[in-house]
Chain A
Amino acid sequence: MKPFQKVDDYVLQEKLGEGGMGVVYRCVRKKDHAEFAIKLLSSELLQDDAEREYFLKECKTLEQLKHPYILEVLDYGIYENVPYLVTEYCSDSRGRPMSLAVIQGRSASRRVEPYVLITVIPEMCSALAYIHQMGLIHHDIKPENVLIQEDKQGNLSVRLADFGLARGTMDAAYTRRKQWMEDEEVGRAVPFDFSGTYDYMSPEQLRGEPLDARSDVYSLGVTIYRIATGYDRLTPLRPSQVVTDVPEWVDDVVVRSAQTNKDRRCADGLELLYCLPKSLRPGGLTKAKE
């Protein structure tokens, strides 16, 4: 696959990135030139009809997830044995791709400004609460997977991406993939930054234990801690002790999430949402419980 190639109704544009099990391109729809992002998964995921069916079934589940802060899946299919997913394209006001990791990378201290934190933290918690209420677990929350949509006025809005994406299908390909990685020479260019993933994995995930929503809560907590402080790991210091501008409620959220002991974390995203000051909780969900 390369730029300007056609995939069903879409024409590929430049490559946006590689991650997980696929390559992401910007693309435009032929009929109306609307802009989207398309994720092309490896064709090795589909070895037989059962795997094809499984992929389509999972996409259907993803398509049904509708939430203002979750990346919307608009279309999916299989083109010449390449499974693909079409989602909205998240960019800054100038059309460049944008995520929390991009914002973080812009500053030498790897910190995100407090005024951005005030927007993104409640929205991330809200998206996580929704996923958990749907009975799903994300498994891979990290700044690269928190996409940001910026409108013309400069308002930012979170789009949580890449969760549970054809996860079962990936499992099927796990053995084949592992083999490929072991054959690879040491020192060759790393196709994607896995150390990034490790940094946000919960202790139980590293140990290979069964996971529940609290694993996501941990990963989100570490994400918040790192973007607020710019630190590369957790320390006993609370975010507001590191950066004085960080509001104190960020401390509360981090203390209730980024804990090694899972019993000390919130049970799920919804509980975490309730650690936020009332004025910052996005509407809708807050009413459900009160």
Chain B
Amino acid sequence: MVPDAGVELTQPHLDEVKQVLDVVQPGVRLSDYTVENLIGFGGSSVVFRGISGDGEHRVAVKFLVSPPTKDRQEVLQLFNLQAAMLAEVDDESIVKIFEFGEYHGFCYLVMDLFVGPEDDPVNLKDYANWFGGVIEPRELVDLYKLLLPAVGKIHAHKIVHGNLKPQNVLLQCVTVHGEHWEARTSISDFGISRILGNDYVMLSVRKSLRRAAAGVALEPIPLPQDTLALLNTYDYLSPEQRRGEGAGCGSDIFALGLMFMELLCGDKHPGFDMPSSMVEGIGPDWDAFILKATSQERLKRFRDIESMLDALNGLKCR
């Protein structure tokens, strides 16, 4: 099958993605939904557009390229539990998952579809890249004032994201005024790491890393696209997750802090100067905010999202 325009399969390493594409083609029916065109793929999934049977709901259908590490029945149970909990939260800043199923051996999730002004999916990373990889301090604070309460609401229901990264923050275009557009943000993949097993993310990453390290050679070989996507996941994992301990609220706070610094400075590691000396219009209070959120020790980070939000509200832009 030839993927739709906008998604190029140029890497020879995308065998797993191709396996999904061989089986799942536009027009395939999954219980109440019909699969439409391909809209993208990441390290562990392939995402299609989809539409509900009555033609009213546009959805995204996410196929997992490798099977969950847990028993299927258990995954289904956890999924139903999680879906019920997410439904209870019912916040528009959380991407809702409608269905979990299996099609020809591949697990899939049906979720809300989010699109930018041109009707293609836009995540926070894409958005930052339009402006050279950085977001203005004032805009970033406004954005976090929306993001943090969303994460906090879910934490209140004892659900941890465990895999927060700019690619998991989706933008939905609400209105367009000429060149400007207004968007609301939604966080996707909430609790996915819990449903699929805490070790699922780590295993996919590790499997991919092994492949990557085989490429450490005299003649450099570019890392496959899917590996890079998983390394992205690895980059935002908190120290405790990397050690193989489970994710907690503190792990999400760590990832949010790291994302904050990356979006502010344009790099996850901008060097050994404090962000305030690199970005105009911000003071040392911003450095303290970032350092506290990204502390290596869980106990030294913000206690919870509320205290992080309080600190965020105290940040001043000059």
Give me the interface of A with B, judged by CB distance under 8 Å.
139-140, 167-168, 170-171, 174, 177-178, 181-182, 186-187, 190, 194-195, 197-198, 201, 205-211, 230-238, 251, 254-255, 258-261, 264
Contact = CB atoms under 8 A, between A and B. Distances in A.
A178 B15 CA distance: 13
Interface of B: 15, 66, 69, 203-207, 209-223, 228, 231, 234, 239, 242, 261, 267, 269-275, 287, 290-291, 294, 296
Contacts of B294: 235
A174 B296 contact: no
B213 A186 contact: no
Given A197-B216, A258-B272, 12 more contacts: A168-B218, A171-B219, A174-B221, A186-B203, A195-B209, A208-B215, A208-B221, A234-B269, A236-B261, A236-B291, A237-B272, A255-B271
B217 A174 contact: yes
A208 B216 CA distance: 9
B213 A194 contact: yes
A139 B272 CA distance: 24
A238 B269 CA distance: 12
Contact of A195 (B234, B273, B274): B234
A18 to B, nearest CB: 13
Contacts of A197: 209, 213, 216
B207 A186 contact: yes
A190 B210 contact: yes
A236 B275 contact: yes
B223 A207 contact: yes
Contact of A207 (B210, B222, B272): B222
Contact of B296 (A167, A207, A208, A231): A231
A190 B206 contact: yes
A38 B201 CA distance: 36
B271 A236 contact: yes
Contact of A236 (B15, B222, B228, B270): B270
A232 B242 contact: yes
Nearest to B235: A233
A170 B274 CA distance: 41
Greatest chain B CB density within 10 A among A174, A207, A255 is at A174
B217 A171 contact: yes
Contacts of A170: 217
A195 B206 contact: yes
A201 B216 contact: yes
B289 to A, nearest CB: 12
Greatest chain B CB density within 10 A among A139, A190, A194, A237 is at A194
B210 A237 contact: no
Given A236-B291, A238-B272, A177 B214 contact: yes
Contacts of A206: 212, 223, 228, 231
Contacts of B214: 174, 177-178, 181
Nearest to B275: A236
Contacts of B239: 231-232
18 contacts: A167-B217, A174-B214, A174-B215, A186-B207, A187-B203, A195-B234, A197-B213, A198-B234, A205-B216, A206-B223, A208-B221, A231-B239, A236-B261, A236-B291, A237-B291, A238-B272, A259-B271, A261-B271
B211 to A, nearest CB: 6
B209 A198 contact: yes
A206 B215 CA distance: 9
Contacts of B269: 233-236, 260
A236 B274 contact: yes
Nearest to B199: A187
Contacts of B271: 236, 255, 259-261, 264
Contacts of A195: 205-206, 209, 234, 242
B15 A182 contact: yes
Greatest chain B CB density within 10 A among A206, A207, A251 is at A206
Contacts of A261: 271
B273 A194 contact: no
B318 to A, nearest CB: 20
Given A171-B219, A255-B272, A186 B231 contact: no
B71 to A, nearest CB: 13
B293 to A, nearest CB: 11
Given A236-B272, A238-B272, A205 B220 contact: yes
A187 B220 contact: no
A178 B221 CA distance: 12
Contacts of B207: 186
B10 to A, nearest CB: 13
Contacts of B69: 186-187
Nearest to A139: B216
Given A167-B218, A194-B209, A208-B220, A236 B296 contact: no
B66 A186 contact: yes
Contact of A140 (B66, B204, B216, B267): B216
A261 B266 CA distance: 12
Given A186-B66, A235-B294, A236-B270, A198 B213 contact: yes
Contacts of B242: 195, 232
A231 B291 CA distance: 13
A187 B82 CA distance: 25
